[in-house]
Structure 1
Amino acid sequence: MRNFLSVEELTALLAQGAPVRLIDVRWRLDRPDGRADYLAGHIPGAVYVPLDTELSTHGRADEGRHPLPSTATLQEAARRWGVREGDVVVAYDDAKGISAARAWWLLRQAGVDVRVLDGGLGAWTAAGHALTTDDVTTEQGDVVLEEIGADALTIDEAAAFPASGVLLDVRAPERYRGETEPLDPVAGHIPGALNLPTLRHLDADGTILDPDSIRATIAELGVTAGTPVAAYCGSGVTAAHTAMVLAEAGVDAKVFPGSWSQWSNTSGRPVAIGSEPG
């Protein structure tokens, strides 16, 4: 099953009256509350989804910035969005799919048929489609979610992962090398991790590259058919995007949701710096 949906495919589904539930997952590190952007203009019928409160939870610093929500919390949220059994959920954002991928990663684990709009809001408007400014509320959904968490690594599992597979650090190279760290108390990367920024998988307009190109990129890091793969980032959001892209190329990847925000806030965890993994 494809994980991305083009604007043309989405408009065809809507024209057919297919059971589609659109969710607007606008979120950025510098502007985590995307509601104002949503109200300024969104795809007609889309419900706003706050990533910080419905696609994650909050606790101690050593749990990371975006720990997983409970299955019950996610189910309550999905029902608020109006998701019903059998619906196709289409998530989008205005950040090259980075935040929408968090919804994809969680809902996929929960057994929901979920896709991400390729190119996001920009692709929608570039195709000449209109936006609306209403605050969409829907009838309560009835979806029943499966238990989530099986695709997530604990901090100990992430530490051990390079011994048996490829652990990808998908942050910017300068953060991987430890030259800068704008958010967390320590700079560097998890020992053994290889750097593969998730934006390498996208065109300039934010649409995904073809699967062969993605497979060629990850092959440079030793990822071939059957290689265990996991990804982490700053707080488990961007890593979900890498997992989604790899799934499109036929590669299943785990995600360490605590990511660097948990690792760097946990006493005693070793830190590597420089361009080499060790």
Structure 2
Amino acid sequence: MHPLIAVPSLDRLLRRRPPPVLLDVRWHLGGPPGIESYRKGHLPGAAFVDLDRDVAGPPGADGRHPLPSPGGFEAAMRRAGVTGDRLVIVYDDADSTAAARLWWTLRYFGHEHVRVLDGGYRAWTEAGRPVSTDDPPVEPGDFVARPGRSPVLDAEGAAALAKAGVLLDARAAERYRGEVEPIDPVAGHIPGAVNAPTLGNVGVDGRFLPPELLRERFAQLGATDAVDVGAYCGSGVTAAHEILALTLAGIPAALYVGSWSAWVADPTNPVATDVS
């Protein structure tokens, strides 16, 4: 299944019965809670999913957004109406950063029919499609979480991949270089990692670049389908966006879910600031 869906295609699907399950996962790092945006307007019929509460476990040594427990994620998705065989469409504000994390997590736990609304809520409203402020009734789903369906990395695996394959750091360049670190206690990057900021995956409208441009971008960084590839970021959210972009480019990749926040939680892990 293609991981993206455009506004016109989603509009057509929503006119069918039963329609796909719509999940609003708007999330603003350091900003107002996503539920506030949801209450001001969302796609008709969409249920809100809280990224911090539903799509990640409690922060700690495994990072700021570690994997949720299978039981916790299963319960959250059932509350949102997710079933095992019904198409799920996820969206956020525009650039699919949060939506990609939910897309990846659903796939990791075994849901095979998930797509991301390319351009998100902004694309929907700019196309003149209707929005709602209602809190829609949700029929509980029957989703069963079966973990391990997507490749993941731990710290040891990430370090090894940085040497033997290609490990992409999805954070902004200044964080990768260690010039600033606004969130985590240590600045820098995993030795051997290559910087590939997620903003380079999308255009100014928040939509993903065409697959051929993504393939060209990643090839220039050494990431192709001929080598082992992985990605990390600050806490495993924007790195999921990188995984989605790599998927569009036809490049399988593993996610280091704990990412930099888990890496620096262990003081024995080395830190690099060089960019050579």
1:54 lines up with 2:54 in the alignment: yes
Partner residue of 1:83? 82
1:227 lines up with 2:224 in the alignment: no
- CA distance in structure 2 between the aligned counterparts of 1:226 and 1:173, rounded to whole angstroms: 26
- CA distance in structure 2 between the aligned counterparts of 1:124 and 1:236, rounded to whole angstroms: 26
- CA distance in structure 1 between the aligned counterparts of 2:261 and 2:145, rounded to whole angstroms: 28
Letter in 1 for 2:234: G
Q: Which runs of 4+ in 1 moved over 3 A?
A: none
- CA distance in structure 1 between the aligned counterparts of 2:150 and 2:39, rounded to whole angstroms: 35
Partner residue of 1:210? 210
Q: Aligned residue pairs: how many? A: 275
Letter in 1 for 2:104: W
Letter in 1 for 2:56: S
Letter in 1 for 2:134: D
Letter in 1 for 2:191: P
Q: TM-score, normalised by structure 1?
A: 0.95
Measured against aligned partners, the alpha-carbon deviations of 1:122-171 in whole angstroms (never above 9, x if no partner) come to: 00001101211122341111122322375221111111111221000010
1:245 alignment partner, SS class: helix
Letter in 2 for 1:188: G
* Contact 2:189–2:271 (Cα < 8 Å) also in 1: yes
- CA distance in structure 1 between the aligned counterparts of 2:110 and 2:262, rounded to whole angstroms: 27
**Please, which moves more after superposition, 90-99 or 219-228?**
219-228
Identity of aligned residues (%): 48
* Contact 1:58–1:65 (Cα < 8 Å) also in 2: yes
- CA distance in structure 2 between the aligned counterparts of 1:15 and 1:210, rounded to whole angstroms: 27
Letter in 2 for 1:70: S
Partner residue of 1:126? 126
* Contact 1:19–1:86 (Cα < 8 Å) also in 2: no
Specify every segment of 5 or more residues in structure 1 that has no aligned partner in the other structure, as ranges: none
2:254 alignment partner, SS class: strand
**1:141-160 aligned within 5 A:** 141-148=141-148, 150-160=150-160
Measured against aligned partners, the alpha-carbon deviations of 1:192-227 in whole angstroms (never above 9, x if no partner) come to: 000001111111000111110000001101122221
Partner residue of 1:187? 187
1:264 lines up with 2:229 in the alignment: no
Measured against aligned partners, the alpha-carbon deviations of 1:17-44 in whole angstroms (never above 9, x if no partner) come to: 2440000001121126211111011010
- CA distance in structure 2 between the aligned counterparts of 1:156 and 1:147, rounded to whole angstroms: 20
Measured against aligned partners, the alpha-carbon deviations of 1:225-249 in whole angstroms (never above 9, x if no partner) come to: 2211100000000000110111111
1:16 alignment partner, SS class: coil
Q: TM-score, normalised by structure 2?
A: 0.96
- CA distance in structure 1 between the aligned counterparts of 2:274 and 2:172, rounded to whole angstroms: 13
- CA distance in structure 2 between the aligned counterparts of 1:161 and 1:149, rounded to whole angstroms: 20
- CA distance in structure 2 between the aligned counterparts of 1:151 and 1:210, rounded to whole angstroms: 24
